Amino acid sequence: MLSLTAFIVAIGVLVVVHELGHYAMAVACGVKVLRFSVGFGPSLWTWTSPASGTQFTVAALPLGGYVKMLDERDGEVAADQLKYAFNEQSLWRRVAIVAAGPLANLGLAVVLYAALNWIGVEQPQAILSRPVEGSVFATAGFEGGERLTRMAFEDDDLQDVGSFDEVRWWLTRAALEQRDLLVEYVPPQGRAVRLTRVQIAGLEVDGNSPQLFQKIGILGPLTLPRIGEVMADGAAERAGLRAGDLVLRIDARPVVDASQLRVLIRAFTAAQAADHQIWEVRRNGQLQTLKVTPKLESEQGQRVGRIGAYIGAPPEMVLVRHGPIEGLIRAVGQTWEMSVLTVKMTVKMVLGEASLKNLSGPITIADYAGKSAAIGLTQYVSFLALISISLGILNLLPLPILDGGHLMYYLWEALTGKPVSDPWMERLQRVGLVVLLLLMSVAVFNDVARLMG
């Protein structure tokens, strides 16, 4: 229920903002707006403005909306009303009206990001978990527990890193842009700052996926290998482990974070079943040495070890907040960078360099909406900003039937001095509709595949 509610609210906000962009620019350009509709299908609520005569409608299907303007292509227009018709406006006014919708979505993202920057957001500190063995970061010499202070693309100036979210953003951009990273960090047990080059250029990637970060080697921020709730009569309880114990070593091997601890427990094999692991833990400031024998259980045809206890403490958090000017500048930068990344990813899919599996449909979006809303308001607002950018960029694509397709028509008109003919426009609209339906089908198929997987 939460996912559905969060999804409807998100789509409603984004559609209203998008159509308000078209509406406000049309009014500013002196075009008469006949109808402003949020949603399609049967009308649920209608109100007509006595001043302008515009009919405002909320329809049953909230998956879009439209602004209907006075236009000779839709029917006969009285002579005294021609100056208010959309098709009678100058080329640049028509361009402004069409572009205003997507730009409104990008503007909304700037506002949302700025609000988050001003209010402040609790984010995990930029402390690395133990890298995946054989990964890029493991090869670069990282062992986990390093606190990252600054990052940059090679040959660029280093920039401060305030949280793990910023680290993840740097890694995503580096992978998609095929550029190496300079990483400045403080080792876990040291104070001297170090600088190293992480070779990401040349890494085969397919979008912003778990496989990408598996190859890079950084799956999340550091979470301490602390024991949580201990189950009754489990291996942990029998070994004497208690909630709050911090695991330092297993069989003399240092344990850096919770994910590494889970791997070591799961790796306890049948050959070791008659033996045990030697755990060194810190409890209330005192060192304890315990013999732990994980219980072997079947999981997807494999035997893995379990101890019957929750593992891992929440990551250390930091409040990331910026002043009015800096927060706004950062918001513009965030929106721009995410827009560029979205365009690059779209181009990669068109060229076949990235899989169409990266397309997401309404089911996945609804799922993410619900998950972000469940985490908190700041995460939901961040989700809204991201989806608003995606909607703005999608509508700017040069695909007939979208705003970008109409802008493509106007570009032709600017170059040739004459508009696209009605027969050609009708053909292109049909092609655009088919392409859009195919993309939607792929997106929905991906949604179902993710659910089934």
CA dist 57 → 8, 16, 18, 37, 38 (Å): 16, 11, 15, 5, 6
Residue 259 has pLDDT above 50, yes or no: yes
Residue of 112 and 357 predicted with greater confidence: 112
Residue reference for tokens 């088919």: 434
At residue 303, the pLDDT reads 82
Query: What percent of the chain stands above pLDDT 90?
Result: 42
pLDDT digits (tens, 9 = 90+) for 412-433: 988 998 888 878 888 888 887 8
Q: What is the mean pLDDT of residues 65-71?
A: 91
Tens-digit pLDDT profile for residues 260-297: 898 888 888 755 545 788 999 999 989 999 999 888 88
Q: What is the pLDDT of residue 203?
A: 79
Q: What is the mean pLDDT of the chain?
A: 87
- As a dihedral over the C-alpha atoms of residue 65, residue 67, residue 71, residue 77, rounded to 10 degrees, the angle is 110
pLDDT of residue 208: 47
Rounded CA-CA distance 287/244 in Å is 13
Interval 119-148: pLDDT, tens = 998 889 999 999 988 899 999 999 989 999
On the question of pLDDT at 398 being above 70, the answer is yes
What are the DSSP calls for 318-336, one per residue?
EEE---HHHHHHHHHHHHH
CB contact at 8 A, 46 and 99: no
Tens of pLDDT, residues 308-346: 999 988 898 899 999 999 999 999 999 999 998 888 888
pLDDT, mean of residues 350-358: 72
Is residue 349 very low, low, confident or very high in pLDDT (cuts 50, 70, 90)? confident
Tell me, what's the pLDDT at 334?
Answer: 93
Say yes or no to pLDDT of 182 above 90. yes
Segments in 276-361 forming alpha helices (H):
324-350
pLDDT at 453: 56
Which domains are delineated in the chain? Answer: 89-120+323-453 (no CATH), 124-222 (2.30.42.10), 227-306 (2.30.42.10)
pTM: 0.83
Mean pLDDT of 348-370: 74
Residue 122 β-bridge partners: 319
Catalytic positions, please? 19
Residue 163, pLDDT > 50, answer yes
pLDDT of 449: 73
The confidence band for 68, taking pLDDT boundaries of 50, 70 and 90, is very high
Q: What is each CA distance from 293 to 128, 131, 242, 278, 296, in whole angstroms? A: 29, 26, 15, 9, 9
Q: Tell me the per-residue pLDDT of 83-123, one tens digit each, with 9 for 90 and over.
A: 999 988 999 999 999 999 999 999 999 999 999 999 998 88
